Structure formats: structure tokens, C-alpha cells
Copies of this chain bind each other. A is one copy, B any other.
Amino acid sequence: MIRSAGRLSTQAAPAVGRSVASKLVHPRELEFLLREFLNVEALIARCPARFGHVDATTALEMIRAGHELAEKEFEPVNRLGDRMEPYITEEGTVWHPEEVVAAQKAYTDSGYLGMTLAEEPWGGLQLPFCVSALVNVPFSCASAGLMSYHGLTAGVIKLLLAHGSEQQRADWIPKLASGECYGTMCLSESHAGSSLTDIRTRATPRPDGAFDLRGSKMWITGGDQSMSESIAHLVLAKLPDAPEGVKGISLFLVPKHLDDGPNDVKLTGLNHKMGQTASTNAGELVFGDDAGAATGWLVGKEHEGLAAMFVMMNELRITVGMGAAATAVAGYSAALRYARDRPQGRDPEAPKSSPMVPIIEHSDVKRMLLAARSYAEGGLALCLTGAEIVDQIQHAEDVSPSERRQLELVLDLLIPIIKSWPSDWGLEANKLAIQVHGGAGYTRDYIVEQLYRDARVNMIYEGTNGIQSLDLLGRKVPAENGAALEALANQIGATIADAHKRGGDCEDFAARLRDKLDLVSDTTKTLLRCAFLGDTTRYLANSHDYMQLLGHVVVAWMWLKQAVIAADALNSGVPNGDGGDEEAFYLGKLHTARYFFNHELPKIDALAHLCASLDDTNPTMRNEWFF
């Protein structure tokens, strides 16, 4: 039974008016993403068994209730959580400000961790993953640090659903979904950050079916904390008979507490981070020692732990991407408020004696806001697209096995981009949010300062962006003879065809995206030829640029989709078509799309040229030539 899991759906919040600005994210944007961009009604119709009990209006109410809770509970403690860093007390427990603990409880008590769980047997809300991602946006805007615990816990729930035994699921899912227990992922070891082949943690079977674990892990987000009563660590370790390499890694559930007392899991220190300081990060988590061992249970099959972990990683990477985009949205929102409030200077063509104008009237400030918005909202749309594909793969009833395979291919290809693009460009949005503030943005008096520090980790954790680019070009692109890129191009092509019919800006954008898509295709062929000829080093040397290239094309697709929706709304006569908020909203969407197509998309030509030249500047550089 999930405590209070049902509260969400009945706790209808007062509707937030469209023109009411939020400190976090504009409610109109969330509504747009739900109803228009995702078209959640259409998704529900395709998955009647799973989502038939939901409709867009209910989903929107949940988003609004979440938004309200995020403003009430998370936003006010965010700065406190940043400044009052957790520490290890003399008793060896982790200290948090009590306000932060209370905020976390408000989140978990409301049942948000059970949003996507099935009603039977879990008492969950059985919402689409993409809707749950939207519900979490305001929370992530309000505090990236607080949300990092929940993102991991949701991931652990999904992993146990997929690979846990019936007993493990029955024992742990209710505790995790209620917030009684938080989850962690224990992969990295001090000598092997991203290199899982080299882990040394060992598991040895015991007669009672459990396992003795010995080893140490590092970089464990939430590795210890005092917010939840217990912690379920998911730990990668090797069995005695394990084959070499990543195929010899197994997965174990290691609780912080056993029935008869604490497990042998010791926190030896916390990392002191640049940002997201409210979220603990275990410097080292030691399982067992010479005298004893930690107790764990095998999850899934022996030696197949990494594959099992990747079930969690894919959705976790979407969550990381969403979090990065949300932090960018929060920065953009703060910069927008500041730019509207702050008078300074005047139009270059206005007389010097005229009164000062708000800085939002300056072209260079508009540039920064447009750029930040195009990154933030482009990132949200991208991650939600991935989340919706997850929903379709898992629950759509109208797709054939071959269609499902196409969706899986597209998702696999998008995952590294979803993890990376919002973390790269969201950071850029947060940088611009500071710049809009001028000197004020460099002080801790303004939230943009914290947001920028919080955002910096996104390029690093859950697989650095460098690792993601190797995943993209090394695995996803060449798989099944390039079938994934072809499947993606088909999807993008459908949007292009749709946009083309609209004429005007949409037709123009569509033609430009078509050109770039052809460019991607040609560039990919050149690269794959290089790989086919066996020059793996030169092929992979282009992975960073290739990911940047494909990322911008995919986000241009997101903006084309949004432009089409906006153009349709404007053509069909929006409510208040006389210049009211609704018209302004769609005109703003169209104009931001124009920004992306004019200022961002053209950047990829240089990248495509570079990749197609099979440039080898990077791999041919030599260690001893660096001074």
C-alpha cells in the first residue's frame, strides 16, 4: 500500500490564471506541453487499458497542484538547502536543515513517487511517464538538489518492476513509492569512474540465498541521508565466477538497514560540491570490510546486472535531461522577471533625455532571453518526446511489433541526446540568465547564481556527455545498419511534410530542416564508411561534434513542431485574437522558433563539414605535446 498515493488526484488546486507569472515556470507553458505538444488525449486513446482512467483535464489539475506544492514547499527552502550543506554529525548520521526534510516529506507524502505505478497492485496513479515528467517540472525548477533523490528513487522502482523478484517487488516498491525508503545507484568506484569493466566490488553467495558484498563505491547521490527511514542501494558487483568485462557484472539490492539492525554499509565522507548541495553525494560508501560483509540480494540474473541497470538508466537519463531543462527554465523565468523590472538605458534611436526603459526592450537582452528560452523549452520538448515514446512502447495498443521496434530504435538513438543536449545548452541558458542580470546575477542574492552552479553537474553525472557521444556514434548510429537514424528521419520527415503544408514561416522552417536532415544523412554515411573501413579511432574522434550536430537537428524538429501548433492556433483565430495573452503566447512560440532556425540551426554546417572531413586533429595530438 502506498501511503496517501491517492491524494494527488482528488486534491484539485485552484486553476492558475494564464497571465499569472510564476517564479518557476509559466503555467501556460506546461499546459501547452501537455495538451498541444504532447497531445496527451491522443496518447491516452492509444493506450486505453493503461491510461483510460485519465484525461487531459485531470492531468492538468495534477500539474497545477504540483506546481502549487512546488511553490509552497520546495521553492522557499531551495536557497536554504544550498547554503546549509548536509554534514556528518558526531553520531555518524547526516544532518539536513529540518525545513528541507519537511519539504521532501511533503513531496513523498503526496504520492508523487507513485505517479506512474499501476493501480493494481500498487495503488499508484497509473499516469503516463510523460505526464509524470511534466508534474515534476515545477519541482525541478524549484530545487534540483531536492529532486535528485526522487529521480533516483523513481528509477529504482522501475528497475525492480522490471527485474526484481516477486518478493523483492512486494517488499520494496511500497516503501520506495511512499518515501519511507529512497533508492540509490552504486556504480562508480574510485579507480574506475565511467569504466565499469574495471569495478572491484565482489559478491559471494551465502547459504541463505543472500550475498556478502565487499568493496567501495563513490559518487553516490543520496548515498546516505536522514530524510528517509531507510535506503535501498542498487549495487553493481562481480560474483566469484564472473566472466571478464562488463558481461560479468551482477546487480544487488543492499539495504541500509536489515531487519535486525544496520547493514554493514559505511559512509566515510560526503563530497563538497559546487551546486546541488542539498543533495548528498557520498565521497565513499564502503560495503563490508575484512571482518564482515554487507548483506545484499541478487536482482535479476547473474552476470546480467549491467543490462538490468540500463533499464533504469534510460528513464533516469530522461529524468536528468528534464531536470537540466527545468533548471534552464527556472533561469529563463528569473531573467525574464528581472529584465521586465529593471529600468536601464534607452533605445539607441531615442533622445538621451528620454526616460529609461526596462532592459527587456534592448535588442541584446531580447537575444539572451530568446536564446535561453529556445534552449530551455527546446530541451523540455525533447525530453518529453522521449518520455512519450517510452509510454507508447510500453502501453500503446495500436502499434505492430515492427512499429514498436521503430519506436525503440528512435528512443535508443535519442537517449544520449536527451541526456546531453539539455545539460549542455541548459547550462548555456543559465549562463545567459546571469548575464541578463549583470553584476546582480553574480551575487548570491539572485537565484540565477545558484541555478548556474546546480546546472553544471548535468553534463557530468549519469554518464558524462563524452560517454553519451560515444554511445551515440559508437553504438546507436551503426546499430542494425543505421536503422535508428532512418527511423528518426522518418519521424522528422513527417513533421516536415506537415509543416510544409502550412506555408509561411512553417514552410520556410520545414525546408531548412529538410536540408539539414539531408546533411546529417550524408555526414553519417561518410562516417560509417570510415568505421566500415576499420578506422575506429578516427570514426569515434568525431563523436562529440556529431552529437552536437544531431542534437541541434533534433531540437530544431522540436521547434518546428511547436511552430506548427502555434501557426495553426493563430490561423484558426485564438481566443482574444485581438492581441490578448493567447495570441501573444503563440506569437512568442513562433518567434522563438524563428530564433532557433536563424541563430542556432546554421551552426551545424561547420560541424557537418568537420565530421565529413574525418578530421583527426584530436586523436593525433600527443600527450607530450601538451605543456
Binding site for B on A (CB under 8 A): 26, 28-29, 188, 191-195, 197-198, 219, 244-245, 271-275, 336, 340, 343-349, 352-353, 356, 358, 360-361, 363-370, 373, 427, 431, 434-435, 438-439, 441-445, 449, 452-453, 456-457, 459-461, 464-466, 469-470, 474, 536-537, 540-541, 543-545, 584-585, 587-588, 591, 594-595, 598-599, 602-603, 605-606, 609-610, 613, 615, 617-627
Contacts and interface: CB of A to CB of B under 8 A. Distances in A.
B369 A626 contact: yes
Contacts of A619: 363, 366
A296 to B, nearest CB: 24
B625 A352 contact: no
B443 A460 contact: no
A441 B537 CA distance: 26
Contacts of A617: 370, 591, 594-595, 598-599
Contacts of A370: 617-618, 621
Contacts of A609: 602
A352 B272 contact: no
Contacts of A464: 435, 438
A345 B195 contact: yes
9 contacts: A192-B356, A273-B442, A363-B541, A363-B618, A434-B460, A435-B465, A588-B621, A588-B622, A598-B617
A441 B367 CA distance: 31
Given A356-B198, A438-B193, A348 B274 contact: no
A466 B621 contact: no
A223 B59 CA distance: 53
A340 B456 contact: no
Identical chains bound together, number: 2
Given A194-B344, A431-B456, A584-B627, 4 more contacts: A195-B356, A348-B537, A366-B618, A603-B606
Given A439-B461, A599-B610, A615-B598, A445 B272 contact: yes
B345 A443 contact: no
Contacts of A584: 622, 624-625, 627
A453 B348 contact: no
A275 to B, nearest CB: 8
A203 to B, nearest CB: 21
Q: Which 8 A-B pairs have the closest CB atoms?
A: A588-B625, A602-B606, A363-B619, A367-B618, A364-B466, A272-B444, A26-B627, A195-B345
Contacts of A594: 617
A537 to B, nearest CB: 6
A598 B273 CA distance: 35
Contacts of A469: 364
A605 B361 CA distance: 29
A457 B442 CA distance: 7
B194 A345 contact: yes
Contacts of A543: 364
Of A195, A370, A544, A624, which is in contact with the most chain B CB atoms at under 10 Å from its CB? A624
Contacts of A192: 344, 356
Contacts of A29: 627
A445 B605 CA distance: 39
Contact of A439 (B193, B244, B470, B615): B193
A457 B617 CA distance: 32
Contact of A272 (B336, B349, B364, B443): B443
Nearest to A19: B627
B474 A360 contact: no
A343 B194 CA distance: 11
Contacts of A364: 466, 469-470, 541, 543-544, 618
A280 to B, nearest CB: 13
B438 A460 contact: yes
A189 to B, nearest CB: 10
Contact of A361 (B244, B449, B585, B623): B623
A465 B435 CA distance: 9
Contacts of A544: 364, 367
A374 to B, nearest CB: 10
Given A435-B459, A618-B370, A627 B585 contact: yes
A191 B244 CA distance: 66
A90 to B, nearest CB: 22
Contacts of A438: 193-194, 460, 464
A346 B442 CA distance: 40
A336 B618 contact: no
Contacts of A275: 442
Nearest to A198: B356
Given A439-B188, A543-B364, A352 B244 contact: yes
